């Protein structure tokens, strides 16, 4: 029995890196620590803990150290999670995702021949002007939604810039675009993810259809 269980009056949500979500978790949220009684939760470093405030705004924290504590005398096993608040600031982790996109694209043996893009698997790929326009429209809509929900999310803005620069090329690289749009899905959390994911899926379908032409 935890003598401090009555202090845990916050309700939080755990968002795993693999997309799994655990809701209605009792917790005591502090600026650098979050105390959670439920030792069965699979909390790992890099996961996101989310708290909805009474005014409807959402606070998000990234797990730095899960801080699992084994049972000791009358104290039940629990978590003392070390966290960093990521709401309202650009996250270096998400910037690394964008950098990884560029590095992986450069190293996938992509070559240009005439007006056709030849991918690493030997597939001839060409994106039509109509598809490029549709992708541009989707990017504009993603940017609009991101600004409306959280204007401080510069990590999504970085991904959008990368996509726009690629679309402006004479022959956009489909592999780069796929990875860039997927990075937005991995960056998006909470309300942002719910509204942006359908748009990203539409963009990925357009790119996939280009591969089948």
CB 212 within 8 A of CB 204: no
- Same domain for 98 and 69, yes or no, is no
User: Of 36, 56, 85, which marks where a domain is finished?
Assistant: 85
- Same domain for 129 and 168, yes or no, is yes
What single DSSP character describes residue 124?
E
- Same domain for 113 and 50, yes or no, is no
- Same domain for 120 and 68, yes or no, is no
User: Of 68, 85, 102, which marks where a domain is finished?
Assistant: 85
- Same domain for 43 and 79, yes or no, is yes
- Same domain for 75 and 98, yes or no, is no
CATH of the domain at 66: 2.40.10
Per-residue model confidence (pLDDT) at position 106 = 43
* Rounded Cα gap, residues 3 and 1, in angstroms: 6
Written as one string, the DSSP assignment of 59-88 is EEEEEEE--EE--BTTBPPEEEEEEEE-TT
Residue 160: closest CA among 184, 196, 195: 184
* Rounded Cα gap, residues 165 and 36, in angstroms: 44
Domain that holds residue 19: 5-85
CB 45 within 8 A of CB 66: yes
- Same domain for 32 and 132, yes or no, is no
pLDDT tens, residue order, the chain (213 aa): 454 455 678 999 999 988 889 999 999 999 899 999 999 999 999 899 999 988 888 888 999 999 999 988 778 899 999 999 886 554 444 555 555 545 554 444 343 333 333 344 434 456 888 899 999 999 999 888 877 766 556 677 788 888 888 888 888 888 888 888 888 877 665 556 678 888 989 999 998 887 765
CB 102 within 8 A of CB 144: no
* Rounded Cα gap, residues 207 and 127, in angstroms: 8
Rg (CA), the chain: 21
């Amino acid at each position: 029995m935890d003598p401090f269980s009555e202090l845990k009056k916050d309700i939080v949500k755990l968002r795993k890196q693999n997309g799994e979500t655990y809701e209605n978790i009792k917790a005591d949220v502090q600026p650098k620590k979050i105390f959670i009684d439920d030792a069965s939760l699979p909390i790992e470093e890099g996961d996101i803990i989310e708290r909805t405030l009474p005014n409807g705004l959402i606070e998000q924290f990234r797990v730095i150290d899960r801080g699992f504590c084994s049972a000791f005398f009358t104290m039940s096993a629990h978590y003392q999670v070390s966290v960093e608040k990521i709401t309202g600031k650009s996250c270096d982790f998400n910037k690394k995702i964008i950098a990884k996109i560029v590095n992986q694209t450069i190293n996938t043996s992509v070559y240009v021949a005439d007006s056709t893009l030849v991918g690493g698997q030997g597939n001839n790929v060409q994106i039509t002007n109509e598809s490029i326009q549709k992708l541009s429209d989707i990017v504009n809509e993603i940017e609009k939604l991101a600004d409306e929900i959280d204007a401080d999310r510069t990590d999504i803005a970085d991904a959008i810039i990368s996509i726009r620069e690629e679309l402006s090329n004479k022959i956009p690289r489909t592999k780069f675009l796929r990875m860039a749009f997927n990075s937005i899905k991995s960056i998006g959390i909470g309300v942002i993810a719910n509204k942006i994911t359908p748009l990203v899926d539409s963009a990925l379908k357009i790119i996939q259809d280009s591969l089948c032409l």
